[in-house]
């Protein structure tokens, strides 16, 4: 039985919710059934094959027996933790964040205030247009809804952790995060996915809606287990003068596909997308980003860096659309990639669709060897060639890691990057001061 049918039959809809919410979920399921899982015949899935999911018999993950070690520990941050899709109160603490801000689990909101959840779902476009987010919503699954009142500035980052530690084969979970950021509110959200060695599948959905002047820093870390399938959808809606920066870091999983869709819906909105992906031996990592400039005076900046090693395959597809009638659009996009072995593969496609002339748009993609001048410089300082290569390769992605303002996140990223390719591990470990 395939994924869609598994959702339909086994991952039953919650029964205690109002009829309108159930209807919304059922519609989503119907759409998912009609279209089925994406196939490589579809342009957006040209490089990523989900056929393997059709062969697994998915069941929902059971409640955890014990709490495993958290992948990211930030003593100064608020935190919410889910294990196997279940909220773990003991590992959650939102303390003062509740001042001016409502942070609740989706299950709690569905029980107490279902209209709130439903209203958010009705706004999200990808639930209508894409199968995987529709599947996420169709199924039962917990997560978090964060509602920031106007002018509320979260004083510390919020870490939302999803761990799949189920010991059964082929478990499936559908975590979700919804953020509604009121006018001029600010939040730093760190979303991290991790799990054990089993072949689990995470189908995550994150929806960030910003009102005028709101600002969200969103770090999304995929640090899943070596057999995991991670399917993620991030949908970002930007209001007037709102700014969202999204940093996608993919350093785990076997099959990873993350879609990030941004709607710059009102003047002055801006979005920054950064990403690092490490497609190591046995891994397939695919990022698809789409930025829709629907209003004038909107800006987007994007940079993705990827490394493929072993027989890993990395895919990047970035699309920027400047819609008709908009003016003064600025968009940049860069996709830089390295291949560390000749059994690895990188496929990159930096796309532009422009329907207005008042734009400044530059795009670039590179794939290639390391800077020979840098290598010579390091060698001239006494560093052997192989180490010099490892160091510059590490530096290639670390240049982006270094921009993360949180030392714990930086350390996690640097460690996972270094561990992702054997060539990097040695030299980088030797350098730790």
Partner 1 sequence: MLRIENLHAEVAGKPILRGVNLTVMPGEVHAIMGPNGSGKSTLAYLIAGRPGYTITAGSITYNGKDLLALAPEERAGEGVFLAFQYPVEIPGVNNVYMLKAAVNGIRKYRGEPEMGAVEFLNLVKSKTKAIGLKDDLLNRPVNQGFSGGEKKRNEIFQMSVLEPRLGVLDETDSGLDIDALKVVADGVNRLRSPDRSFVVVTHYQRLLDYIVPDQVHVLAHGRIVRSGPRELALELEARGYDWLTADAA
Partner 2 sequence: MAASSSEVSALLNRKYDAGFYTDIEQDQAPPGLNEDIVRLISAKKQEPEWMLEWRLRAYERWLRMPEPKWAHVHYPPIDYQALSYYSAPKTTANLLQSLDEVDPKLLETYKKLGIPLQEQKMLAGVAVDAVFDSVSVHTTFKDKLAAAGVIFCSFSEAVREHPDLVRKYLGSVVPQADNYYAALNSAVFSDGSFVYIPKHTRCPMELSTYFRINAMNTGQFERTLVIADTGSYVSYLEGCTAPQRDENQLHAAVVELIALDDAQIKYSTVQNWYPGDEQGRGGIYNFVTKRGDCRGRNSKISWTQVETGSAITWKYPSCILKGENSVGEFYSVAVTHHRQQADTGTKMIHLGRNTRSTIISKGISAGYGQNAYRGLVRIAKSAENARNYTQCDSLLMSDHCGAHTFPYIEVRNRTAKVEHEATASKISEDQLFYLQSRGIATEDAVNLIVNGFCKEVFKELPMEFAVEAQKLLSITLEGAVG
Q: Is 345 in the site for partner 2 (CB under 8 A)?
A: yes
Nearest CA-CA partner of 410 in 422, 425, 399, 396: 399
**Is residue 108 within 8 Å of 82, Cβ to Cβ?**
no
Subset of residues 30 to 59 that bind partner 2, contact rule: CB under 8 A: 43
Nearest to partner 1 of 153, 431 (CB atom): 431
- Least Cβ distance, residue 184 to partner 2 (angstroms): 32
Nearest to partner 1 of 324, 433 (CB atom): 433
Number of residues that make up the chain: 433
Structure tokens at 179: 């953020």
Q: Is 355 in the site for partner 1 (CB under 8 A)?
A: no
Number of residues lying near partner 1 (CB under 8 A) = 31
**Contacting residue, 256, 346, 388, 397, with partner 2 by CB under 8 A:** 346
- Least Cβ distance, residue 322 to partner 2 (angstroms): 8
Q: Is 338 in the site for partner 1 (CB under 8 A)?
A: no
Q: Is 407 in the site for partner 1 (CB under 8 A)?
A: no
Q: What is the C-alpha separation between 265 and 300, in angstroms, rounded? A: 12
**Contacting residue, 355, 377, 399, 422, with partner 2 by CB under 8 A:** 355
- Least Cβ distance, residue 377 to partner 1 (angstroms): 4
Nearest to partner 1 of 75, 382 (CB atom): 382
Which of the listed partners (partner 2, partner 1, none) does 362 bind, with a CB threshold of 5 to 8 Å by partner kind?
partner 2
Nearest CA-CA partner of 24 in 146, 131, 144, 117: 117
Which of the listed partners (partner 1, partner 2, none) does 340 bind, with a CB threshold of 5 to 8 Å by partner kind?
partner 2
Which of the listed partners (partner 2, partner 1, none) does 256 bind, with a CB threshold of 5 to 8 Å by partner kind?
none
Which of the listed partners (partner 1, partner 2, none) does 354 bind, with a CB threshold of 5 to 8 Å by partner kind?
partner 2
- Least Cβ distance, residue 320 to partner 2 (angstroms): 9
**Contacting residue, 155, 197, 358, 371, with partner 2 by CB under 8 A:** 358
Which of the listed partners (partner 2, partner 1, none) does 274 bind, with a CB threshold of 5 to 8 Å by partner kind?
none
Q: What is the C-alpha separation between 81 and 73, in angstroms, rounded? A: 11
Q: What is the C-alpha separation between 2 and 56, in angstroms, rounded? A: 7
Nearest to partner 1 of 110, 309 (CB atom): 309
Q: Is 385 in the site for partner 1 (CB under 8 A)?
A: yes
**Is residue 40 within 8 Å of 15, Cβ to Cβ?**
no
Structure tokens at 199: 């072949």
Contact residues toward partner 1 (CB under 8 A) are: 371-374, 376-385, 387-388, 391-392, 394-402, 427, 430-431, 433
Contact residues toward partner 2 (CB under 8 A) are: 43, 324-325, 327, 337, 339-369
């Amino acid at each position: 039985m395939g994924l869609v049918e598994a959702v339909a039959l086994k991952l039953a809809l919650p029964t205690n919710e109002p009829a309108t919410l159930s209807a919304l979920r059922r519609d989503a399921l119907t759409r998912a059934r009609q279209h089925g899982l994406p196939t490589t015949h579809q342009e957006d899935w040209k490089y990523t094959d989900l056929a393997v999911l059709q062969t697994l018999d998915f069941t929902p993950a059971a409640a955890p027996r014990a709490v495993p070690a958290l992948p990211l520990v930030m003593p100064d941050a608020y935190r919410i933790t889910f294990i196997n899709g279940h909220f773990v109160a003991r590992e959650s603490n939102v303390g003062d964040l509740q001042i001016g801000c409502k942070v609740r689990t989706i299950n709690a909101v569905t029980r107490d205030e279902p209209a709130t959840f439903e209203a958010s779902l009705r706004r999200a476009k990808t639930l209508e247009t894409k199968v995987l987010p529709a599947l996420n919503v169709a199924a039962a699954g917990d997560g978090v809804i964060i509602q920031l009142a106007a002018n509320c500035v979260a004083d510390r980052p919020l870490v939302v952790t999803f761990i799949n530690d189920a010991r059964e084969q082929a478990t499936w979970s559908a975590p979700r995060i919804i953020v509604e950021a009121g006018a001029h509110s600010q939040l730093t959200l760190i979303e991290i996915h991790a799990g054990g060695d089993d072949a689990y599948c995470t189908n995550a959905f994150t929806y960030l809606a910003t009102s005028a002047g709101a600002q969200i820093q969103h770090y999304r870390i995929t640090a899943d287990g070596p057999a995991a399938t991670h399917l993620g959808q991030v949908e970002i809606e930007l209001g007037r003068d709102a700014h969202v920066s999204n940093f996608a870091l993919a350093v785990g999983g076997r099959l990873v596909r993350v879609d990030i869709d941004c709607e710059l819906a009102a003047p002055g909105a801006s979005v920054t997308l950064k990403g690092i992906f490490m497609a190591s031996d046995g891994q397939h990592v695919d990022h698809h980003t789409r930025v829709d400039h629907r209003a004038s005076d909107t800006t987007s900046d994007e940079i993705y860096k990827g490394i493929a090693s072993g027989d890993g395959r990395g895919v990047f597809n970035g699309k920027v659309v400047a819609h008709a009638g908009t003016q003064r659009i600025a968009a940049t996009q860069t996709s830089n990639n390295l291949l560390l072995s000749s059994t690895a593969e990188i496929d990159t496609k930096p796309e532009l669709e422009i329907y207005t002339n008042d734009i400044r748009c530059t795009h670039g993609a590179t794939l290639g060897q390391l800077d020979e001048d840098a290598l010579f410089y390091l060698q001239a300082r006494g560093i052997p060639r192989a180490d010099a290569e490892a160091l510059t390769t590490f530096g290639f992605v670390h240049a982006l890691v270094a921009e993360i303002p949180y030392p714990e996140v930086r350390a996690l990223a640097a460690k996972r990057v270094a561990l992702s390719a054997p060539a990097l591990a040695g030299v980088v470990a030797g350098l730790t001061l």
